[in-house]
Amino acid sequence: MSPDSNYLAEQLAKQIAASGPISVAEYMRQANSAYYAKGDPFGVDGDFITAPEISQMFGEMVGLWFADLWLRSARAGQHNLVELGPGRGTLIADILRAVGKFEFDPDVHLIENSELLRNAQLQNAPLAKHHDSIDTLPSQGPLFIVANEFFDALPIRQYIATHAGWRERVLVRERGTKFSAMPGTLGVEHLIPTEFRNAPTSSIYENSPDCADAIFALSRRLAAQGGALLIIDYGYALPGLGSTLQAVKAHAYADPFENPGAHDLTAHVNFAEIANLARSQDLAVYGPVGQGKWLTALGIDMRVEQLSNAAPERAAEIRAMRDRLVDSAQMGTLFKVMAISSTEMPRPEGFASA
């Protein structure tokens, strides 16, 4: 049990004592803010490994995807390459190396709040400009935006079906650093989609106002400035019921309602809602498709062959990295890819079957 989690648990307990139970979204917001402020959670020695940390091939495929769009669109003027939640900067470094082969030299913008992670990102992308939010991104020139495992970390609200109707799920302190979820007192039927309002007792419905706000803001920018947004995350293509909130610590699952700030909290992304918000701004939507299918369509197997021929002694290792990214038993189907683009952009690669 870390001192940080003790401190945050006490602060949340005081907040609950003063103002009453807090929403799952408020708990998640404060827990993740504390978690990402305290250190680098990525890699073998951290709590989890993202696709860019597994192999350079992932970032190279993303870079080639953006370079292809740029080559097939109007290339005049300056373009902006944006990453949301860039981690250590591994992905943006691999993207820049890939697009540089095509003389695509965009201005680089990173949305990141952690000072520690900002310093790490500048080691990989020294010319990048940092932003606290979407609002300060450039208002001129097309935006090429990538969000890899970004939206899953945004706070979610949870609603639970009770005998008295739907209620928002809220948290109270149980003991020490442990919190418990319970139904709130106010009815929230108006927030539940019609098809789920008669669901059995204890059913849980989730949504993410923070995700919706971000997608709406990005969609308005794309509609006005042109460009494309590439989203890679785990989530569901159609809305459903059930809690997807989870915590990860040292590459293992943990109790999301214990030791807030000590582990990463995430929830599955609602790709259907993202698509609907983007279409409301007259943008084109492609996918979602499984990450494995998308990477295969872009030519990751050819890249495996190139790297293996250049370093035969690492061929088995390179193949294992590819399998982890592509195979359905690993990340290939759990992680999904969606593209959103302005109407003047060409159809992006990787979505032929979508």
Write out the chain's pLDDT in tens, 354 residues: 444 558 999 999 999 999 999 999 999 999 999 988 876 666 445 556 789 999 999 999 999 999 999 999 977 678 999 999 999 999 999 999 999 999 899 999 999 988 889 999 999 999 999 999 999 999 999 999 999 999 999 999 999 999 999 999 999 999 989 999 999 999 999 999 999 999 999 999 999 999 999 999 999 999 999 999 999 999 999 989 999 999 987 768 889 999 999 888 999 999 999 999 999 999 999 999 999 999 999 999 999 999 999 999 999 999 999 999 999 999 999 999 999 999 999 999 999 855
CA torsion angle 341 346 352 354 (round to 10) = 20
Cis peptide preceding 288, ω within 30 of 0: yes
For residue 187, give every residue at least 6 positions away whose Cβ sits within 8 Å of its Cβ, in sequence order, or none. 164, 165, 166, 167
The ranges assigned to domains in the chain are 37-155+207-341
Amino acid (1-letter code) at residue 157: R
Enter the pTM of the model.
Answer: 0.93
* Strand-pair partners of 340: 229, 285
In CATH, the architecture of 37-155+207-341 is: 3-Layer(aba) Sandwich (3.40)
Give the number of other CB atoms < 10 A from CB of residue 75: 12
